[in-house]
């Protein structure tokens, strides 16, 4: 999944990355064929196929560190 979602492009923010994950998971589970499932998507194997992942709201405010040049990570805050 990293090669198909996380490392495909650079994201401007954590919120943008989170929104892209929801869209990717929907495509991966509902539209993308999987060879191990007879070229059907995983959602075809469960009775409730209308469920879609929704982007989650940002849970925490990330403190800004002046001059850092990128959105802080846990390691920057230690």
Q: Residues with Cβ < 8 Å from 68, sequence gap 6 or more?
A: 76
Identify which of 25, 22, 77, 30 has the alpha carbon closest to the alpha carbon of residue 54: 22
> What band does 39 get if pLDDT is binned at 50, 70 and 90?
very high
Residue 78 has pLDDT above 60, yes or no: no
In angstroms, how far is CA 72 from the centroid of its own chain? 19
Its pTM surpasses 0.85: no
| Range 27-48 average pLDDT | 88
CA–CA separation, 32 and 13 (whole Å)? 26
What sign does the CA torsion over 25, 27, 28, 30 have? positive
Neighbours of 25 (CB within 10 A): 14
The yes-or-no verdict on residue 70 having pLDDT over 80 is no
- Sequence ranges of the domains in the chain: 2-77
């Amino acid at each position: 999944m990293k090669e198909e979602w996380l490392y495909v492009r650079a994201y401007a923010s954590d919120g943008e990355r989170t929104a892209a994950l929801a869209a990717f998971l929907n495509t991966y589970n509902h539209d993308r064929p999987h060879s191990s499932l007879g070229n059907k998507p995983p959602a075809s194997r469960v009775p409730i196929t209308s469920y879609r992942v929704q982007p989650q709201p940002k849970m925490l405010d990330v403190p800004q560190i002046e001059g850092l040049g990128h959105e802080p990570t846990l390691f920057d805050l230690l």
